[in-house]
Structure 1
């Protein structure tokens, strides 16, 4: 069945260039009315301009679609609220939010200024929180919403020189975990995209051959799936160069070691068992993880 977005209204942040632009173009091509949000800053977040957003709006209109531009800084909650008001005034509702806006200020942690840390976290993490918070009650009232976060391998697995970026990107997975649970009763589904794509962000860190094969057009279809009517929820989808994966947090089977005289040496002696990843599995929520610990502890205490 063809995935369509007719009568759906989507906000895409950071949509003036790169992945966000292609997300927006593909949504519009499938019937969505799209708000092109872009602060218009450079890769490190400096400067601002609405030219990029307006150019994408023109592309969509030339192709027969419907779009408007917005220059809000996602790190500023008042500007984000104005963005949502503009969207509702123009189109009457908000069905889809793609949190894509981002900046980079890469340095080793020892050389990283606090300003670099705050700036990156404010755009990636707080920007996503601001935009999601601004549409959340609307989506609850509509009993429909699709929210997409954008994470990165740097956050989930680590990368030298990106402590600020990685911290923000991993936090977005945690935000998804919470909101996917809270959104269930109001048909709000929340997912996360982990893209690898040739954009301004990656143009100087990827080999030329891979850059040519890693166009955003090979990532955005994953984003569209994750904000579609039949989307899953609480999924982290890896995407790049036509390659896709599912990524999840896992935990090994809990081992009871405890007792009144528990020592660090007792834990060290069992570390191979504790870190046996052959026993690992996902946890649907925090309650499931806690229950496993309680059950394991009670069996250990009773000597079962």
Structure 2
């Protein structure tokens, strides 16, 4: 299905937030908040539906965030990890900057050797989220730091106990020496009680070949490289969710993940607990994109 067909209309999102009336705004911690692209939570933030606490150690990217931030955004120029000092490789392409050296064979395989160019290397102190003072309770951890994700998770075991969602870049084909890849990230998140919910997108490239000039590269993106995945705290056991967590999971499902069945799953649980009116799930469906609804008959 086309991604735009599943996006939640703004008026539906504002209605849902008002109907659920959470005790505080849904809160997102964004590790690696480099504003290269608009984040998936951009619309939720724009309508005042969430707060963002971001971390970005690259000076230019942090300056951009500070310049353009709104009233619900707070940013820190820190690298997040376990609290140790690491060696940061600053790449020509800022989106590739990582603590890891490039894995050149993959860059050659997809004809992107320019991405492997490291301009300089510098020592970088990291802070652990567990040791970050005044870090608010948060609902979603969004993280995109080019292979160092597990260090963040390992330095955040305490604060992640109250978190219900993680959005993380997952690697399928190696770009860096030593990065944990999909399997390593999945193992660590499952160890901490999170399970894969969906992929937001996947990025793929055409493999380099002798006939490349005769081919439409965008139609031959055969090799998966990476993509963003959404992990949720075990939604098979909603008894472990508080009422407030169910509300925030529903808001994230509608405003960030575009997971409408997740929204309804949480609303049904809130109805069963007597927290919200029994007609709210039906009202939500009435406000969903028409392309996702039927006339109710099977």
More strand by share: 2
State TM-score, norm by structure 1.
0.42
More helix by share: 1
Q: Which has the larger radius of gyration?
A: 1
State TM-score, norm by structure 2.
0.42
Q: Higher RCO, 1 or 2 (CA under 8 Å, sep at least 6)?
A: 2
